[in-house]
A and B are shown apart, each in its own frame.
Chain A
Amino acid sequence: MIYREAGQFKTTYAADQAIFPIAQDKVVVTLAVVAAFVVPTAVAGDYWLQAVLIPFLVYAMAALGLNLLTGYAGQLSLGTGGFMAVGAYAAFKLATAFPALNIVVVFLLAGLVTAAVGLLFGVPSLRIKGFYLAVATLAAQFFLIWLFNKVPWFVNYAPSGTITAPDRALFGVLVTGPNATAQARYVFALALVTVFALAAKNLVRGRVGRAWMAIRDRDIAAEIIGIRPLPTKLLAFGVSSFYCGIAGAELVFLYLGSAETLAFDINQSFLVLFMIIIGGLGSILGSFLGAAFIVLVPIFLTNLPHLLGIAISTALRKQIELMIFGGLILFFLVVEPHGLARLWQITKEKLRLWPFPH
């Protein structure tokens, strides 16, 4: 009834191919983005921003990146943690070597460095596919972490071997480092995610995205219709790594403040992969839903006994949390193997017909 497109006529191709062809979608999404900027900064406390929302945004960025590669271009990667590490260490080196450099430029350059590394590790993708490619990217993961552990230059010879985000301001407001407020860091992270999500959305509905999907669906057929596999796959690796690199830089600069290589271990790669599988492969919205699921549900479950006023031992609480979380993952994958994004799509289709489904 509310969600109805009757009467919305498209008179141009551009209008028909808009990101949100339905007027209600456009309004709701715009409002949601505005609300995301305004509401938490005004209402949420440090805990919400620092422990819940900022990590969600960081992982949404990483999930976006991996979704471009795995969801759209069909190249399975387990190197996400390693690529995030490249972004983080590159941002750290750039920010400390050139203190005058604008922090946005630092992030973008860190993304480009990661893209270059991603291209390098994407080369084998021309010859190997599927699980074998996953193993090849796993090598990237281990090699990169080993490299950052081994070479002290990457941490500016700090005896502790950790990298620490320096104080950097944007428009006169500190956005990174320990003295930046959670609000400023949140808004910065949100702005980055908004811009890059929009970019990703446009990328995947254009020529590039179509080429990726053609490669994903049947690479030989794609080659026959004139898509060159190597540049297409490499571009997917490059763009995906760019996103992951920025996510890694955000992880250190906006979320943790300082980090060691352990923050980027193989578990991160799996975590991001689970996000896109649960959220929905080949869906921008799915990246966000998946990140929300993996980041927020455990925190919610941890706090649940406390909210209900039930006191159970710490260890038991954690174990219950893990069990419920695992159960939920199974539940959603059984109910909808195509992820939360697909569930949302089905809901939308039902909503269109509601309340007269026949």
Chain B
Amino acid sequence: MNARRLIVGLAAAALLVAPAARAQDKGTIFVPLLVYRTGPYAPSGIPNANGFNDYFTLVNERDGGINGVRLVWEECETQYDTKQGVECYERLKARNPVLVNPYSTGITYQLIPKAPIDKVVIHSMGYGMTAAADGRWFPWVFNFPMTYWSQASAFIRYVGQQEGGLEKLKGKKIVHIYHNSPYGREANPTLEELARRYGFELTLLAVDHPGQEQKATWLQVRRIAPDWIYISGWGVMNQVAVKEAAAHGMRMDRVVGNWWSGSESDVVPAGDAAKGYKSMTFHAAGAGFKVHQDILKYVYERGKGAARKEQIGEVYYNRGLINAMLNVEAIRTAMTRYGNKPLTGEQVRWGFENLNLTEQRLEQLGMKGMLRPLRVTCENHEGNGMAAVQQWDGKQWKMVSDWIEPMREVVRPKLEAAAAEEGKKLGYTMRDCAREK
């Protein structure tokens, strides 16, 4: 009897939870969500996944889908593990996805070769393979609003602003502490190039996965006595780095993380010591935007929210929202050309490539001031995004800089060279963007 009741209960819960099982008028578009709600990186993965869920629910609840076409999605747990991610992707591929957000650099690398064959757009928002930003070589991969290389150049520009001009960088000491993985190493070539150009002393210090052990690294840092520290960390490495920086008496406002090293879970464990710590970002944190009111009204008041209410507005929650919004707007762009109906991966790819997110559109979406307008082109898949610096004041992340333009003239040529190299490895040829319509 009990067992039966349990099954009935579960089935009822299933009907409530699953957004998939509903009759639709104009058809649906399926988006797989690779999430990591368990495992060592869950503190970052959970808010991000919740942001995705809430935005998609919002679009369905408030607007009845994208121009009447409802979104259907299914989560698959990857534990941030490449092999599990590939398993997820292959499983969900059966449901004809139009796009995928891999949410791990490792998984992104796995999926890039598959994308043109499976006709599934890859959107790695601010992570993944930097070289893929050259759309001539990688038509199926998008990493807007910015790449790691642009981010690193924006960091140096920020340091220049703080020091009173880029020419003042000469002789300054900058240390890059990075996660010893493809992800962590990404910024190195750009920083090295800029060190040559502006004459600052750059020291690269690797921290091995998972990053709990950093004593030796910080002893070195102490010996160098750097003017600025840039951290490319992930998960527990960030918490330890922030704690160590404080313990070694670094000026916290000169310790700057990249945008995967600046969330609540990175600073809260360090307590008061983390006050003043900065990080790069490409969007604002906090729940004060109109989109959040909409989410509370259309999603949470109807009992369909994925997160707890107080988690709304966390850095990674907002990042999930923005990523979901960019996906939705790209699909909407594709619909202007192909009609308001379920689309194929190829059609959605066109939408991504012609995405033009204006200030006005952001205002309509309730995201004005949350991120910058964005324009993607055939050549440039990282768009024209800008970075900003946010600072932890002990309670919340606050934006403390204007939008910073990356040094595109430095990054782009290197990026094109890398794209040619990576593209040739995969046997691609460069397409001619002038011929694309």
Contacts and interface: CB of A to CB of B under 8 A. Distances in A.
Interface of A: 45-47, 50-51, 55, 146, 149, 158-162, 164, 166-167, 177-179, 256-263, 265, 299, 302-303, 309-315, 317-319, 322
B17 A260 contact: no
B83 A149 contact: no
A178 B117 contact: yes
Interface on chain B toward A: helix, strand, loop, or mixed SS?
Answer: helix
Contacts of A159: 130-131, 185-186, 189, 418
Interface of B: 10-11, 13-14, 17-18, 35, 37-38, 42, 46, 49, 75-77, 79, 82-83, 86-87, 90-91, 93-94, 106, 109-110, 113-114, 117, 129-131, 180-182, 185-186, 189, 206, 208-209, 418, 421-422, 425-427
B427 A317 contact: no
Contacts of A160: 109, 129-131, 182, 185-186, 422
Contacts of A314: 35, 37, 49, 75-77
A311 B86 contact: no
B86 A149 contact: no
Nearest to A312: B10
B82 A51 contact: no
B113 A51 contact: no
Contacts of A312: 10, 13-14
A325 to B, nearest CB: 13
Contacts, number: 114
A318 B182 CA distance: 27
A265 B189 CA distance: 25
- Ranked nearest first, the 8 interchain pairs of A and B with the lowest CB-CB distance are A178-B113, A311-B14, A315-B37, A314-B75, A51-B87, A51-B90, A318-B77, A161-B182
Nearest to B14: A311
A244 to B, nearest CB: 17
A51 B129 contact: no
B12 to A, nearest CB: 10
Nearest to A298: B84
B94 A51 contact: no
A8 B37 CA distance: 58
Given A256-B110, A303-B91, A309-B11, 10 more contacts: A178-B427, A179-B117, A179-B427, A262-B82, A263-B82, A263-B106, A302-B87, A311-B17, A314-B49, A314-B75
Nearest to A161: B182
B86 A318 contact: no
Given A160-B186, A164-B425, A318-B77, A47 B90 contact: yes
A45 B93 CA distance: 11
B109 A51 contact: no
Given A149-B180, A262-B209, A319-B38, A161 B185 contact: yes
Nearest to B13: A311
Nearest to B89: A51
Nearest to B42: A315
B101 to A, nearest CB: 15
Contacts of B86: 50-51, 256
